[in-house]
Structure 1
Amino acid sequence: MAKFGVRAGALVAGVAAYGWAMGPAAAADELSGGDTAWILTATALVLFMTLPGLALFYAGLVRARNVLSVIMHCVAIASVVSLAWLAAGYSLAFDDGGSAQAWIGGLGKAMLSGIGPDTLWGSIPETVFFMFQMTVAIITPALIVGAYPERVRFAAVVAFSLVWLLVVYAPVCHWVWGGGWLAGLGTIDFAGGIVVHTTAGVSSLVFALMLGRRRGFPTELRPPHNPGMVATGACMLWVGWFGFNAGSALGANGSAGMAMLVTHISAATAALVWAGIEWLRYGRPSLVGIVTGLIAGLASITPAAGSVGPVGAILIGVIAGAFCQWLSGVIKFRLKVDDSLDVFAVHGGGGILGSLLVAVLVLPVFGGAGLADGVTMAGQFGVQLLAVGVTALWSAAASWAILAAIRVVVPLRVNEETEIEGLDITAHGERGYELT
């Protein structure tokens, strides 16, 4: 995904900090079987993150009466986004936008127009690149599922996810990875700290605020109904994240290898930090806590995976484990915002944190790849801050407008009786558990 702004022949020192070139003509137009095989594998791993990884992770965190509704949301979003990505999303993100190139792509690649099995994107078929990017597009609105479980109408979920993909995700994807204006500034976002985690995290906060709190929040918060399911889903996310980050090198190469390495180290570090803080504070570490920490580490390393080394990964993991846990408490108990499954604190906070830290940890003194010629740490930090800020503002404003429009047609929230009964049986006519 960090394939922007660097043209063929410009693979000089520091390029790893910025990622790989965009477009079929950006690299040698020669098919590589090794690169293709790896990106096919990475694509399957990224879809594995959503189905079943994220679905199980989120489902275990809610009450038993809502477990199926959460899984249903993830499956429905995967299906809707797949068709929307084919129809227009991919083209808006990665097509040449002509005079509007800085802001949005055109529709020249809608329905993969003009793209055949022999059309290349660098060293891989463009159909493979399309599929890889589609799985990334799928998981981004699926992350937002964690903001609204147990009280949202299914129709609102489907409508929001469809419009949000085209109005929020596709433009930001174009800005950073499709040769847009943030790419031109030299924004570093190897695998989605800005494009994926900032957009989803901020939008989750808006959705939670507009939807309102669950009954009894925050005084009657109940523990996850199935911590084992939570941990199973989280471990699937850990494995799938190797495709997410290492696949963003778009090739079977050293950049992919280093991205996989630092992804693993950051996750392991953040998991131990989160569990350690719980141990000191409460006298015992929890399973849900340690796996939430590893997700925070994964989210935080994502923008920096192509830029930092093992030392940088450890530092990101340490900071992410502590920061995301603190932010989770602030959102829930100080601000009393019912972002139910901590999407903003873990994904939004982690993605923003990593997107800013990369400006420092990319330096060779920390084992990083180094900045491009003529770029200073302060200058890069300013670019990162601008990219995060603009993305957050656009995500918040557009998400509010989308939700405001949807609730004119259909209420966002179920009634109180339905919320008490649970969404599994009332919205989908099924129960997760038949206990006799």
Structure 2
Amino acid sequence: MKRIALFALLLMIAVTCLGLAPAFADETAPAAATAAAATTDAPAADATAAAAAPEAPKVDTGDTAFIIISAALVLLMTPGLAMFYGGMVRKKNVLSTMMHSFIIICLVSVLWVLYGYSLAFGPDVNGIIGSLDWAMLNNVGAEPNADYAATIPHSVFSMFQLMFAVITAALISGAYAERMKFSFFLVFTAVWISVIYFPLAHWVWGLHGWIRDLGALDFAGGTVVHISSGVSGLVLAILLGKRRGLGSTPMPPHQLPLTVLGAGLLWFGWFGFNAGSALGANGLAGSAFVTTNTAAAAAAMSWIIAEWVRQGKPTVLGAASGAVAGLVAITPAAGFVTPGSSIVIGLIAGVLCYFAVILKPRLGYDDALDAFGIHGVGGTFGAIATGIFATTAVNPAGADGLFYSGTSELLVKQLIAVGASYAFAAIGTLVIYTIVNAIFKARVTADDEETGLDITQHGEEGYPDFAVQAGGLSSVTYTGASTSSSVVHSH
């Protein structure tokens, strides 16, 4: 009876939110109009001024400060991800797992300045890629670029977008945790970010990118960030094969408090991710802030209820994973949907991603930390949900989805964007892996995997054994590597 009551409660909340969604939209419309009026600060009587040619883009200090802070928040997500992932692996692999996220910040930051920003957002070439006109951030300076953000310096916009590239590459690492050579990781990541992420970002967000011109909506990265990383992670997990001992050796998370801390930092940073994508300190940013927090909370609740019903107990790992699933799902929709719709999106995302994770063993692949189960599945659902729940009452620059327009026009566009992202990420990852693996073998040896990647790849331990001698703590002697097979992620 308890399980039936929990499911009934979940269903009641979802139905209530669906019923109230139009009301939320009606309430949002005047608020959006008020925000627009406040932004322009132009009385209705000034018709002549309104009809005049628009002024040249001008830096707004408030918007600039907001986006700089948002960029810093998004950067913080990657160390947060390192903790989230690091706590879920065996202790002999915690440093190598965290190293993936940390070094990606360094690698992608350099590539972004060299040519990445230009390829992703530079002058369009046939809707597919940007030119190299902005390589080395040439002509990307203190003045705004009205095509992307008319009130912040072009350089600040560039750095904000860099942080999305960083977190995307880091997300993939959850799929291949505990078995990839560091040398292969470095080369693969450099090629993947250049060949997959930069073009896909141009398709979706670049001026005249073909998905952008199609009219598909992606507020902060459902296709660009989450589908690309999740699908690529799935392909890598299949190509690498399962971790040795999976299914016979227990592999639960070695330190859940670290994972929960990482999830908290991800949630915190996600406000910069989604609210910052309004590219200004305005009403739209506030709306995205509300929907982001609400969807995360709803998804955490639905995940733990689902596992409570199925497994008999709600887990801390489930709550953390559910919150991340909600954050993923709301990302493409954050600036286009009402708070009521965000609850529905979160509730569905939590249950959907939970079942995607628990079905993994039956499907026979080893996505170690559920890059696909959470980011691939959650991002796919979020992109589709945008086509259902988007409303111009929240964002006049968007479009009305199926729920508000009664037509499937936007939904079809969202499905095209999802399909293109899947195909591009999957095929591209397969080709890149095949080429790089022929030069740098992707997988560590059986002995190295048994010893642990911290020692074999980096010569360090996250938790070295030590003995305190007569001299006290000032006389610490390390007793060498621990080869215990302590345990990894398992939902």
Q: Return the TM-score normalized by structure 2.
A: 0.80
Tell whether 2:149 aligns with 1:95: no
User: Matched residues in 2 for 1:188 and 1:333: separation?
Assistant: 33
Q: Measure, in 1, the Cα distance between the counterparts of 2:347 and 2:168.
A: 25
> Which residue of structure 1 aligns with residue 245 of structure 2?
216
Q: Quote the residue 1:123 is aligned against.
A: 151
Provide the secondary structure at the position in 2 that maps to 1:279.
helix
Listed as ranges, the matches of 1:375-390 within 5 Å are: 377-390=407-420
Tell me how far 1:221 sits from its aligned partner: 4.2
Q: Residues 312-339 of structure 1, C-alpha deviation per residue, up to 9 Å, x if partnerless?
A: 1100011000000011122x22111101
| Counterpart code for 2:113 | L
2:64 maps to what in 1?
Answer: 36
Match of 2:463 in 1: 433
The partner residue of 2:93 within 38, 41, 66 is 66
Amino acid at match of 2:167: I
Residue of structure 1 equivalent to 2:454: 424
Kindly state the Cα deviation for residue 62 of structure 1 after the two structures are TM-superposed: 0.2
Is the 2:390–2:400 Cα contact (8 Å) retained in structure 1?
Answer: no
2:110 maps to amino acid = L
Instruction: State the alpha-carbon separation in 2 of the partners of residues 414 and 177 from structure 1.
Output: 37
What is the Cα deviation at residue 28 of structure 1? 5.2
> Any residues of structure 2 matched to 1:320-335 within 5 Å, and which?
320-330=349-359, 332-335=360-363
Residue 177 (structure 2) aligns with:
149
Q: CA deviation at 1:276?
A: 1.2
Distance (whole Å) between structure 2 residues aligned to residue 277 and residue 426 of structure 1: 39
RMSD: 1.9
1:47 aligns with 2:75: yes
Distance 2:324 2:175 in 1: 16
Gaps of 5+ in 1: 1-11, 17-25
Aligned residue number for residue 4 of structure 1: none
Structure showing greater radius of gyration is 2
Deviations 1:260-298 (A, max 9, x none): 110000000000111111222222211111000000000
Looking at structure 1, the residues matched to 457 and 172 of structure 2 have their Cα atoms a distance apart, in angstroms, of 19
> Is the 1:266–1:313 contact (alpha carbons within 8 Å) kept by the matching residues of 2?
yes
1:318 aligns with 2:347: yes
Instruction: Report the number of matched residues.
Output: 408
**1:71, distance to aligned residue in structure 2 (A):** 1.1
Alignment of 1:228-239 (within 5 A): 228-239=257-268
Q: Distance in 2 between matches of 1:373 and 1:413?
A: 47
| Residue identity opposite 2:271 in structure 1 | F
Residue 82 of structure 1 is aligned with which of 109, 113, 118? 109
The 1:155/1:376 distance shift into structure 2, 3 A limit, reads farther
TM-score relative to the length of structure 1? 0.90
Deviation at 1:116, TM superposition (A): 2.6
Alignment of structure 1 residues 141-220 onto 2, 5 Å: 141-179=169-207, 180-220=209-249
Paired position in structure 1 for 2:134: 109
Aligned to 2:385: 357
Q: 1:219 Cα deviation (Å)?
A: 4.0
Per-residue Cα deviation, 1:341-367 (whole angstroms, up to 9, x for no partner): 000010111011010011111147xx7
2: distance between equivalents of 1:83 and 1:342? 28
Report the AA paired with residue 103 of structure 1. Answer: I
- Point out where structure 2 has 5 or more consecutive residues left out of the alignment: 1-31, 37-53, 467-491
